[in-house]
Amino acid sequence: MSVLSGCGVLASTGTNAAPGPGASSAAPRTYTVASPVTTVIVNGSAGTISVTGSHRGTVEVTERSYYSSSKKPPATSHTVSGGTLTLSYSCPTQVTCGVSYDVAVPSGTAVRVSDREGAITLASLSGPVTAQTIAGVITASGLAGPSASLSSRAGSITAAFASVPASVTASTNAGPITLTLPPSAAYKVAAHTYVGTSTVTVHQSTSSAHVISASSDLGSITINSS
């Protein structure tokens, strides 16, 4: 297992400062992970997370740290073990602290993302995808993997698929859900919302092997064709 870690370098505050009262932002840090990677795990807490599929053969990561100006920046780390890259960080006790990630992964990489506060953006991924956030929106486009599991406690979920998935699960406590699927298949669909409307316009079949499940406690659900 390889382990690498580092902290950002303090940058002056100004119009590009990270959010939060009296916050400072560190200079962006970009690095390439040379080890072979089949799965990428991003464990965020506060900050946006973006993961994009590409034709590159290695994973490239850009970290943008922010923190209370009177405190130390978060300590970031990335580890590779058994083909799994895990990105994470820790913060000293302070009011404002977080890391935003921009990650480019090779085609077919499995992606698992978790965040507490911040938007998650997924694009052009062709491996299995899991994304969950407590407070933030999830936006996905060009998904071509066999499965996707997307969940948010407070925030909308929007996902568009470039190829027919075997299974999709989308759930949120508060927020709308929009799933856009290829028209070339029929889907076994389960859509449920307590407060809101459900609109399903894809071709449906109870015997289909392509299973779509969407649920929202408070918000509309739309499942349509591209």
Give the pLDDT confidence score for residue 9 in this predicted structure: 28
Q: How far apart are CA 169 and CA 211, in angstroms?
A: 8
Give the pLDDT confidence score for residue 13 in this predicted structure: 26
Q: Which residue has the tokens 């991003």?
A: 42
Query: Other C-beta atoms within 10 Å of 130: how many?
Result: 16
pTM for this predicted structure: 0.88
Tokens for 138? 């999830």
Q: How far apart are CA 127 and CA 150, in angstroms?
A: 14
pLDDT by residue for the chain (226 residues), tens only, comes to 443 333 332 222 233 334 555 678 888 999 999 999 999 999 998 899 999 999 999 999 999 998 886 667 889 999 999 999 999 999 877 668 889 999 999 999 999 999 999 999 999 999 999 999 999 999 999 999 999 999 999 999 999 999 999 999 999 999 999 999 999 999 999 999 999 999 999 999 999 999 999 999 999 999 999 9
Give the pLDDT confidence score for residue 1 in this predicted structure: 42
Q: Which of 65, 63, 75, 61 is nearest to 31 (CA)?
A: 61
Give the pLDDT confidence score for residue 102 in this predicted structure: 98
